[in-house]
């Protein structure tokens, strides 16, 4: 009907034009019509001329621009004026995503609207290829009233027509709202279809031009990234380039690239645009980025604040408003997730499926750059580490090429040989070690020929000013992965005089002890009494554990465990006294006091438990058996000194102070605790700790009870829930128990166990209360407990 109306109007105009009627002809024609017919004819003629003018306007005004934003605005202006509508919208189909999209002016920036091309009124017109008039928008189930609610605009009636090409292919939809006077007519619909078809070529050209320009921009950005891959090998600058490029490609406001830290299982970034390069770290399973990392699936969020996974607290801290989020995993060539790319706030609206594909493709290229940069950084770190280690060594080191020329020389070598470092570089070993030192050249030749190390002990080396040194000299072959000889490394130690003595002492005691003994001379070789803090730790049920693990796995586990624990002791200025099977004895405050020995010992115990927790998590993740330990700490006068025989001596500590520390470590099994500290240590602590009195304990062989405290600082809310309330009930229960109200005390300890069923110490006191209810203690009982075992 609509097409017929427009065609009849067009035929009328064509008849007038084809017959080339002049003014007199038109006047004669009008003279044959009645007054009413004449007015109707003139009105129809004016209407047809207006429609033809609109068609010409479309052709003229759309021909000079290739900008979709400009064409959308002009076409809406022309069509709205032609059919006397209040406002309108152009929707074009995106064949790659099967979406209809439009551009709406939002301030200075056009916002893009996208939705599936089969949804709503526009989707119905696009899929059916039929124009429609809706006289009452709210009566049509396809109309979405939420848009009116958001904008405050009231949609009354709607006219929608497909945009067809000359080949009748529907490429979009033209939709107008609210006829200014009355309702939309079939004549309006026919005109709208004609205008839409007239504009289709210009819109298609502009859409194609935009796609070409976008592809060109992406190609430029990807070329920049390729250049970055080939020219930038430092990780942080590379990550910054990657983020800048991804932000440009996706027309976003800012981006963040999170990399996975395999040691801590955290996602981290120092390249978060807008965050002033502050390092961000969080567990790699937390939040939106964590979900993408664990699932390996892209997440596209059109409204961040409507998504429960989004943490709004970050926006509150930074003052930044996050609207849209696109988050994509970064996978290396083995399809392993090495990080996550997160892009925020796309210009003009939410991210679409095309953006998802772009970011996925871009992240794949970025992964190559990241892997290369990380590899380069590892190599550089190893080189710097090797250089630092080389220069920090007290032994002299020279590295030779396969031809015998010096490539590396450390400071110690230059000092021992009485030369400057640059005097060695690129010198032949034959020139450096001649005459009486010819044995060094012979050693190098021997090592090169056999490919095996050679050692010279207590050898004489002649240096400047006729000075002779006694050295231990090692020559080691340097080989590549194919076991081909690359050169030789010479390592030599000056053991002349005092250094000889220090080197000998260092073979059976720590460097600190050796230095102190050498400073004190013979006086330090005897024993003396001094106050010290002793720490004992022991692995629980080690015999059973070793039988389960087997010999090889037991040794491997102990080596890993001892490495971790001894490092912690050294960090807190402790001295490793000895290993006793699976036990460790450490001393704080000898051979010299620090003023914080008690705090150092307790802090070391706390850190040992924290490290054990991480150690067990790692073992459990590898399917290996976990371990538990007990730690006892005591402060008392001890006897320290060189103890042993003339053939083998140890610098160690002995006495009751050591014995009590060992008893406390053993008592951890009785009290089902991990750290027990004596009252003597507690009295001298300067820092604050989370502690509770475990008992007043009389150890075997002693008559005076000693107050013992349990340290709880290493616990978390998971390992000791409701700690504050539990400690209050425990302290009260302990007080009531010592007042001989065992039934009341039992009830309080059971309250603690209700809050934390795994509280071993409360279980011990509850069992003690039950025992005393059946076997009351004597009237002179002082509330202490007598240990019957060591």
Distance CA 130, CA 646 (A): 108
Can you tell me the mean pLDDT for 81-89?
A: 82
Under the banding of pLDDT at 50, 70 and 90, the label for residue 18 is very low
Closest CA to 199 of 86, 85, 61, 84: 61
Specify burial of residue 391 (Cβ count, 10 A radius: 0-12, 13-18, 19+). middle
pLDDT at residue 707, rounded to an integer = 93
pLDDT at residue 538, rounded to an integer = 93
More confident residue, 704 or 606: 606
Percent of the chain whose predicted confidence (pLDDT) is above 70: 77
86 touches 180 (CB < 8 A) = yes
pLDDT at residue 620, rounded to an integer = 93
Least confident of 491-495, 560-564, 716-720, 726-730: 491-495
Q: Which of 172-186, 270-284, 387-401, 642-656 has the highest mean pLDDT?
A: 172-186
Can you tell me the mean pLDDT for 163-168?
A: 81
Confidence check: pLDDT of 520 > 70: no
pLDDT at residue 83, rounded to an integer = 79
Least confident of 255-264, 314-323, 468-477: 314-323
pLDDT at residue 506, rounded to an integer = 47
Can you tell me the mean pLDDT for 102-111?
A: 61
Q: Whole-prediction pTM value?
A: 0.41
Residue 78 structure tokens: 């022309």
Residue 9 Rama label (left phi>0; alpha psi -120 to 50; beta): alpha
477 touches 452 (CB < 8 A) = yes
Can you tell me the mean pLDDT for 358-380?
A: 74
* C-alpha torsion angle, residues 439, 443, 445, 451 (rounded to 10): 170
Can you tell me the mean pLDDT for 677-683?
A: 95
Instruction: Using alpha carbons, list the distances in angstroms from residue 343 to 603, 698, 704.
Output: 43, 65, 68
Under the banding of pLDDT at 50, 70 and 90, the label for residue 504 is very low
pLDDT at residue 109, rounded to an integer = 56
Q: How many CB atoms lie within 10 A of CB 386?
A: 11
More confident residue, 363 or 686: 686
Least confident of 272-276, 496-500, 583-587: 272-276
205 touches 349 (CB < 8 A) = no
Cα atoms in the Cβ-side hemisphere of radius 13 Å centred on 482: 3
In order of start, what are the domains of the chain with their CATH numbers?
2-6+45-211 (3.30.450.40), 232-383 (3.30.450.40), 395-495 (3.30.450.20), 526-712 (3.30.70.1230), 715-790 (no CATH)
Specify burial of residue 433 (Cβ count, 10 A radius: 0-12, 13-18, 19+). buried
Confidence check: pLDDT of 480 > 90: no
HEC string of 35-96?
Answer: HHHHHHHHHHHHHHHHHHHHHHHHHHHHCCCCCHHHHHHHHHHHHHHHCCEEEEEEEEEECC
Closest CA to 239 of 287, 272, 215: 272
Least confident of 154-163, 259-268, 418-427, 688-697: 418-427
Confidence check: pLDDT of 322 > 60: yes
Confidence check: pLDDT of 460 > 80: yes
HEC string of 544-561?
Answer: HHHHHHCHHHHHHHHHHH
Q: What angle do CA 617, 622, 627 make, to 5 degrees?
A: 50
343 touches 248 (CB < 8 A) = no
More confident residue, 608 or 422: 608
pLDDT at residue 507, rounded to an integer = 42
Q: Which of 43-47, 302-306, 536-540 has the highest mean pLDDT?
A: 536-540
Confidence check: pLDDT of 510 > 60: no
pLDDT tens digits along 616-641:
999 999 999 999 999 999 999 988 87
Least confident of 365-369, 432-436, 575-579: 365-369
Residue 461 structure tokens: 């080396």
Can you tell me the mean pLDDT for 740-747?
A: 93
Distance CA 468, CA 466 (A): 6
- Phi then psi dihedrals of residue 685, to 5 deg: -70, 135
587 touches 604 (CB < 8 A) = no
Confidence check: pLDDT of 266 > 80: yes
Can you tell me the mean pLDDT for 709-726?
A: 94
Instruction: Using alpha carbons, list the distances in angstroms from residue 654 to 513, 525, 588, 667, 700.
Output: 16, 15, 13, 20, 18
266-269/575-580 β-pairing: unpaired
Least confident of 93-102, 200-209, 322-331, 493-502: 493-502
Q: Average pLDDT over the chain, rounded to whole?
A: 80
Q: How many CB atoms lie within 10 A of CB 757?
A: 10
pLDDT tens digits along 286-300:
888 889 999 989 999
| Own/partner pairs, 692-695, CB within 8 angstroms, 24+ separation | 692/727, 692/730, 692/731, 692/761, 693/731, 693/734, 694/761, 695/671, 695/784, 695/785
Confidence check: pLDDT of 579 > 50: yes
Residue 597 structure tokens: 């020995």
CB burial readout 136-147, b (16+ within 10 A) else e:
ebeeeeebeeee
pLDDT at residue 511, rounded to an integer = 60
pLDDT at residue 772, rounded to an integer = 92
Least confident of 52-61, 539-548, 607-616: 52-61
Distance CA 433, CA 449 (A): 19
More confident residue, 195 or 583: 583
């Amino acid at each position: 009907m609509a097409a017929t109306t427009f065609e009849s109007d067009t035929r009328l105009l064509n008849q007038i034009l084809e017959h080339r009627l002049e003014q007199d002809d038109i006047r004669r024609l009008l003279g044959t019509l009645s007054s009413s017919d004449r007015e109707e004819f003139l009105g129809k003629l004016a209407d047809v001329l207006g429609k033809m003018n609109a068609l010409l306007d479309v052709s003229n005004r759309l021909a000079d621009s290739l900008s979709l934003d400009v064409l959308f605005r002009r076409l809406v202006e022309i069509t709205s004026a032609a059919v006397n509508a209040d406002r309108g919208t152009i929707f074009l189909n995106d064949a790659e995503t099967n979406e209809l999209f439009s551009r709406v002016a939002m301030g200075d920036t056009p916002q893009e609207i996208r939705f599936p091309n089969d949804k709503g009124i526009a989707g119905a017109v696009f899929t059916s290829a039929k124009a429609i008039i809706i006289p009452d928008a709210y009566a049509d189930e396809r109309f979405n009233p939420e848009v009116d609610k958001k904008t405050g605009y009231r949609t009354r009636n709607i006219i929608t027509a497909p945009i067809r090409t000359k080949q009748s292919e529907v490429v979009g939809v033209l939709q107008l709202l609210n006829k200014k006077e009355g309702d939309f007519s079939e004549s309006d619909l026919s005109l709208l279809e004609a205008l839409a078809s007239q504009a289709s070529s210009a819109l298609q050209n502009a859409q194609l031009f935009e796609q070409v320009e976008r592809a060109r921009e992406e190609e430029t950005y990807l070329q920049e990234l390729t250049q970055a891959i080939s020219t930038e090998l430092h990780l942080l600058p590379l990550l910054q380039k990657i983020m800048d490029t991804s932000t440009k490609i996706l027309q976003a406001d800012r981006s963040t690239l999170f990399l996975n830290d395999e040691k801590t299982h955290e996602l981290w970034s120092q390249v978060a645009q807008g965050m002033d390069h502050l390092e961000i770290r969080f567990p790699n399973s937390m939040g939106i980025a964590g979900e993408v990392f664990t699932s390996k699936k892209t997440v596209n969020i059109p409204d961040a604040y409507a998504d429960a996974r989004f943490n709004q607290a970050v926006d509150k801290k930074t003052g930044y408003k996050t609207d849209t989020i696109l988050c994509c995993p970064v996978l290396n060539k083995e399809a392993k997730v090495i990080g996550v790319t997160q892009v925020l706030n796309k210009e003009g609206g939410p991210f679409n499926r095309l953006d998802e594909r772009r970011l996925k493709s871009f992240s794949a290229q970025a992964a190559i750059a990241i892997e290369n940069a990380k590899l380069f950084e590892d190599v550089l770190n190893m080189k710097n580490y090797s250089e630092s280690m080389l220069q920090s060594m007290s032994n002299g080191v020279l590295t030779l090429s396969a031809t015998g020329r010096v490539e590396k020389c450390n400071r110690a070598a230059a000092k021992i040989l009485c030369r400057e470092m640059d005097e060695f570089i690129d010198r032949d070993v034959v020139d450096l070690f001649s005459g009486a030192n010819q044995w060094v050249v012979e050693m190098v030749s021997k090592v090169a020929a056999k490919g095996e190390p050679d050692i010279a002990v207590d050898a004489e080396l002649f240096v400047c000013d006729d000075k002779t040194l006694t050295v231990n000299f090692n020559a080691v072959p340097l080989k590549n992965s194919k076991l081909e000889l690359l050169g030789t490394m010479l390592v030599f130690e000056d053991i002349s005089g005092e250094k000889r003595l220090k080197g000998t002492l260092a073979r059976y005691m720590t460097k600190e002890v050796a230095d102190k003994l050498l400073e004190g001379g013979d006086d330090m070789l005897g024993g003396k009494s001094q106050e010290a803090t002793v720490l004992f730790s022991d692995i629980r049920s080690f015999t059973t554990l070793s039988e389960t693990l087997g010999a090889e796995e037991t040794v491997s586990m102990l080596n890993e465990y001892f490495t971790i624990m001894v490092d912690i002791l050294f960090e807190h200025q402790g001295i490793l006294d000895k290993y006793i099977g699976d036990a460790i004895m450490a001393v704080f405050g000898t051979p010299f006091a620090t003023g914080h020995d008690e705090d150092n010992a307790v802090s070391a115990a706390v850190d040992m438990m924290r490290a054990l927790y991480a150690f067990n998590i790692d073992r459990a993740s590898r399917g290996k058996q976990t371990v538990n330990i007990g730690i006892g700490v005591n402060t008392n006068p001890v006897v320290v000194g060189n103890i042993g025989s003339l053939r083998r001596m140890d610098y160690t500590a002995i006495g009751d102070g050591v014995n009590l520390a060992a008893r406390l470590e053993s008592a951890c099994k009785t009290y089902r605790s991990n750290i027990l500290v004596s009252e003597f240590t507690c009295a001298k602590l300067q820092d604050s700790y989370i502690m509770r009195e475990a008992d007043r304990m009389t150890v075997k062989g002693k008559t005076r009870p000693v107050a013992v405290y349990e340290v709880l600082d290493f616990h978390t809310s998971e390992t000791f829930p409701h700690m504050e309330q539990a400690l209050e009930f425990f302290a009260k229960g302990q007080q009531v128990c010592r007042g001989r109200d065992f039934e009341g005390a039992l009830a309080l300890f059971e309250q603690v166990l209700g809050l934390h069923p795994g509280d071993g110490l409360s279980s011990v006191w509850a069992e003690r209360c039950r025992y005393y209810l059946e076997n009351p203690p004597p009237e002179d009982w002082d509330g202490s407990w007598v240990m019957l075992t060591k």
